[in-house]
Amino acid sequence: MTALSIRALGHHYGDTPAVHEVDLTVQPGEIVALLGRSGCGKTTVLRAIAGLLTPTRGQVAIGGQIVADGGRELVPTEKRGIGLVFQDYALFPSLTVAQNIAFGLRRGDPQRVQALLDRLQLTELAQRRPAQLSGGQQQRVGLARALAPRPSVLLLDEPFANLDGALRMELGALLRDAVAEDGAAAVLVSHDRADALALADRLALMGVGPKGGVILRDGRPEDLYLDPRGVDVAQLTGEAWFLDAEPDDVGATSVLGPIAQVDGRPTGRLCVRPESVRFTPCEGPARVRYAAFQGSFTRLVLEHPDVEGPILAAHGSLLSAGSTGRVEIARAAWIRERIDDAGA
């Protein structure tokens, strides 16, 4: 059974439209990330699922039960069987770690509490209060607390935004394991594409249409990354630049030469990812305008007399501004200005 189903969800705050005709389904054990820029309505969707607002239109169903429909709340937050994880943890400061985890459990269920303490590596911290914990530890408690009542849907609001890189990786792994073990469906809201790409089984990319936030595309992260179809999807899923080209028998031909691997249906314009650009230092027409050493690679901004706008590239060795060379493209995807134009 589908864990979460949203049909034609719409909401407006007074006269201001927030989201429009949002459809989304999430299966048990699946992590779906809602990814979009600020103000695109992803938080509104999350709040509508949680029951913290009643959407003005559409339907929300959790575990097959309709919880909101046509502007009416049918099931309140406390009876929806959801778990909420917040960016700033929202732990109960007066309770210990163990008490926080037990908060939503009948008679505390010490076995469940202990299991979660073990699973999220919190056993040593069970008797501490939130103020005595680091950010990463607090977020682990927040996750354990949300998982404790075995929710059918876990809602995560920018859960890693306050954590550094290593902690993000560690918590991401814990989250994946926990969701897999409990079979909960997880909806993750993020504006950080790295989090979303790394964690989610599926991405729901949101943008802003004339009537409010809409889902631009919904699919596996790698599919959306490699074949974005629209400029907005390309930019949401990673760095990209765009180039006019003609389809040919092999792939495509552009002012930078032939491109062997091209995804999607021909449109006349290509989306190119920096890692697909090969820059060979030599007496070529391209020139490095800006080079930023990133450790394992160097990020390049190139200019080329035949290409309008900057070319973004990633290069394996250290280069400096002013270097010249030749540019080749290994892979690209056909793209349109707007996702609607692509008929997606």
Partner 1 sequence: MSIGVRPPSARTVALAFVAVGVVVVWPALGLGYGLFRAPAALTSAELWSALPLLRDSLLLSVAVAVSATLLGGWLAWIAERLRYPGRSALALFALLPLATPSYLLAATFERAQVMLLGPSYSLRGLVAAWLVLTLVTAPVVQLVVASALQRSSANEEEAARSLGASRVALLRSVVLPRVQAGMVFGFVLSFVYALSDFGAVAVLDAPVLTFRLYQAVASHQLGQATLYGLLLSIAAVPLLLLAGRLRGKARAGVANPRAPARLPAGTVEAGLAVGTQLMVGGLGTLLPLVELARWVARGLTQPDATFASLGIPALHTVGASFFGAVLTLLLALPVTWVAARAPRLSGIRQAGWIASALPGPLLAFGWLLCALWAGTYLGLPYGVVMSSGLLLLLGYATRFLAEAAAPLEAGILHLDPRQEAAARSLGAPRSRWLLRVVAPALTPATGGAFVLVFIAILKELPVTLLLGGPAGLSTLAFRVFDRYNEAMFHDAGLAGLILLATTLTALLFTLERP
- Residues near partner 1 (CB under 8 A) are 43, 46-47, 50-52, 76-84, 86-88, 90-95, 99, 103-104, 142, 145-146, 148-149, 151, 155, 157-158, 189
Q: Which is nearer to partner 1, 85 or 339 (CB)?
A: 85
Q: Which is nearer to partner 1, 83 or 230 (CB)?
A: 83
Distance of closest approach, residue 77 Cβ to partner 1, in angstroms? 4
Run of H or E residues at 145: helix 135-147
Question: For residue 303, with 0-12 CB atoms within 10 Å meaning exposed, 13-18 middle and 19 or more buried, which class applies?
Answer: middle
DSSP string for residues in 80-95: S-EEEE-TT----TTS
Q: Which is nearer to partner 1, 109 or 263 (CB)?
A: 109
Distance of closest approach, residue 231 Cβ to partner 1, in angstroms? 28
Rounded Cα distance between 23 and 17, Å, is: 16
Contact 192, 156 (CB under 8 A): no
The 10 Å Cβ neighbour count of residue 282 is 10
Distance of closest approach, residue 263 Cβ to partner 1, in angstroms? 35
Contact 22, 190 (CB under 8 A): no
Q: Which is nearer to partner 1, 189 or 271 (CB)?
A: 189
Distance of closest approach, residue 52 Cβ to partner 1, in angstroms? 6
Distance of closest approach, residue 47 Cβ to partner 1, in angstroms? 7
Reduced to 3 states, what is the DSSP secondary structure of residue 198?
helix
Q: Which is nearer to partner 1, 78 or 308 (CB)?
A: 78
Rounded Cα distance between 71 and 337, Å, is: 34
Rounded Cα distance between 181 and 178, Å, is: 5
Q: Which is nearer to partner 1, 84 or 98 (CB)?
A: 84
Distance of closest approach, residue 75 Cβ to partner 1, in angstroms? 11
Contact 144, 120 (CB under 8 A): yes
Tokens of 101: 């985890």
